[in-house]
Chains A and B, each alone.
Chain A
Amino acid sequence: MKMNRKDRQLRLNFYMAVAAIVFLSCGYPDGAQQNKKKAEDSSKASASNGASDKTAASSDPVIRAMREELERSKSQVKMENVAAPYYIEYRLSDVTEYSAEATFGALRQNQLTHGRGVRVVVRVGNYKQDSYYGPGVGVVEFAPLDNDDIALRRQLWMATDRAYKMASEALAGKKALLSQYSAEQPFDDFAKAPALQSIEPLAKLEYSAEVWEKALAKSTDLYRSDAKIQSLWARATFRSVNEYFVNTEGTITRQGNTWYLVQLSGETQAEDGMRLGRSPFYMTAKASELPDPAKLESDTAKMLETLKRLREAPLVEEDYRGPVLFSNDAAGDVFFGMIGNNVLGIRPKPGDSARTIGKFSSNYKGRVLPAFLSVVDDPTMKSFQGHTLIGNYEVDEEGVRAQTVAVVTDGMLVDYLLGRMPIRDFPDSNGHGRAAPGQAPGPNIGVLIVKPKDALSTEDIKKRLIALCKEANKAYGYYVETLSGYEPRLLYRVYVNDGHQELVRGAVFNELDTRTLRNDLVAAGNDPLVSNREGPVPSTVIAPSILFDELEVKRTDKKNAKLPEYPPPALTPGR
């Protein structure tokens, strides 16, 4: 097929368009000019309660346009033979993202994008049963970047019209589907929530593109120090999201967040062909907390040094079943995946009687962790031991105020994290309905904190590891420093006789799962580590190191690749 076209009349989704803006915005020196106006706005509206909220709400041109069009839609949208909407919401996300990437001493990409998407949800029916299903979950459109009242409202008008028409279709489809199942749904489709007015300052990125681009290039120039380094890159991604939300229940919120992510990645191959990689990163809510160029460079050097040590490290040949100590970094990954994901109150599809889609669906009031561990999600926490937390927010993407939720108390599952979509026995939102720009909200963690009782010092937990090994008649135990997924990246043998550590490679865990976490954990450290995590929704896990009395470590069955057929090009100093 061969095609010609003058106009590209493609319907892009929000992300594609943000990508499209890339080409228009390459070469902006930094985000400063674009955000200048917003900075002015934010200084005007930095109050966050009562009467000043109302003033700020009426002076913000985006909120004003959204409210006007919402009012018109609420009072007038109606087709004959179709019920009028009982609920309408508008959520506008204003996203600015800067990214730059360098490899082998030179920049290979930089871009600044600024885009706005608006998501319109129109619900037909009532709280008990409504149209939020299939085509009825909302319409996403781009929105104009300037604050022109009529331009914004025109976009909202068309999106509302489409969302209403699709909602009526969705409700009919949902009723038809539910008629195939016998059981009545014992909870509402949509949770009621109090009207909330909260106007927070707008967020704005602060960085110097020039400084970062130089720093990334310089750090990756260290590839010259090691001929066996096959890939070395560094990337900075900085994002600000300002969310504007209004609904027909009277909720009006505005909030802004920023996150700053700097990633390093290096890859090499051992003599036997095993691919070895490391990918440390820094993620913060404030630019000032990022490493400076000198620190980035020394950390890159450190990473290259560990890659070299990994290359020379002995292979894990024999299966091991015994005590394993996880560092706070590795434990953060485990708690994020195995606890964080399973305490989300995500409702299964219509007709499915399970409480949630997670592994803890039927564990309410049951034990999911040892009794010495409790887990709380507190999105209102802004920082911990001097580190900013990117999982912090005051109001979720459904306009509900964030609540601190104890999900696991003394090892027992006592609650789920919930948005406004109720699940069996949990009729209300606890302010965890979160969403990426343009996406439908759903339960997500904010700041998940694992709190141990009788926590051991770093020294004592290592002593405990050795004591357990002695009991089990082992010459050594294992200590995991970092994970990639649930596989160890930096894994050490800790010898019983003199306590020395030996880096090893080529191992995986067998049966590291929620059952192991519940039954085989015997101690936790007093060394909580903040782990800010990138994802569709920014989140944070704070976890201590943990000790398993029994876990299986075995040799990986991954195939090794061949080494390069010929050496790298010669370095020519002085050029």
Chain B
Amino acid sequence: MEAVENGVLKNFLMSRMPNKYFDHSNGHGRRQPGLMATGRQGNLIVTSTNMVPDAELRKKFIEEIKKQGKPYGLYFDDIQGGFTMTERSMPQAFQVLPVMVYRVYADGRPDELVRGVDIVGTPLLSLNNIMVTGDTMQVFNGICGAESGWIPVAAAAPAMLFSEIEVQKQHKGTERPPILAPPEPSHASSSKTPSKARS
């Protein structure tokens, strides 16, 4: 089932609940046990006609950083998940919660692991900023939650270079770290002084 063809939305993933424009299920009525099925993702595959080898993609990334006159760009290597607001009454915005983010410097310095940013934005604007993709597909297996509950889904996509994306600072906790050092094996701990009060 082709949902998006050459960048244009063609079809919805449909259950047996018809809507104004689509009156048939295309076999995507899914649910968690006990809930009512709705149109849900199964294996979502993103393909590209504008692919470059991954090494080339990095070069293009650095070129774009330079072109925009920025000292660095951000490379998102791994995320823990994300969510999108799909209710009509709410802004159609999404947030992605990255865990491994690197600053890639324009001046050739080594990449630097950073923390504390989330990706935010609106889907139509953000996804139209994709300039070029890599040529290696990666699979994401996850559990997706929506109206019909939590179901297993997969997505496959190549790396993508965005000309622009919005990030925001993550909420930062101010909890004190533990007072004592972690316990150590008992045969060693009796004579040593493994722990010291931190202030």
Contact = CB atoms under 8 A, between A and B. Distances in A.
Interface of A: 1-9, 64, 68-69, 72-73, 76-80, 149-150, 153-154, 156-158, 161, 164-165
A1 B197 contact: no
B185 A4 contact: no
Nearest to B185: A150
B195 interface: yes
A172 B83 CA distance: 39
A79 B180 CA distance: 10
A78 B197 contact: yes
A3 B144 contact: yes
Interface in B111-142: 140, 142
B144 A4 contact: yes
A77 B185 contact: no
A158 B179 CA distance: 9
B182 interface: yes
A76 B180 CA distance: 7
B86 A1 contact: yes
Given A2-B83, A154-B183, 8 more contacts: A1-B86, A1-B145, A1-B146, A3-B83, A76-B180, A76-B195, A78-B179, A157-B178
B82 interface: yes
Interface of B: 79-87, 140, 142-146, 153, 176, 178-180, 182-186, 189, 195, 197, 199
Given A1-B84, A2-B146, A3-B145, A80 B199 contact: yes
Nearest to A77: B179
Contact of A161 (B144, B180, B189): B180
Chain A: interface secondary structure? helix
Query: Nearest 4 pairs between A and B by C-beta?
Result: A5-B81, A153-B183, A3-B83, A3-B145
A79 B195 CA distance: 14
Contacts of A64: 186
B95 to A, nearest CB: 10
Contact of B80 (A5, A68, A72, A161): A5
A2 B179 contact: no
7 contacts: A4-B145, A6-B142, A7-B81, A72-B180, A77-B179, A80-B199, A150-B183
B83 A161 contact: no
Given A68-B183, A72-B183, A153-B183, A2 B86 contact: yes
B188 to A, nearest CB: 11
A150 B186 CA distance: 8
B193 to A, nearest CB: 10
Nearest to A153: B183
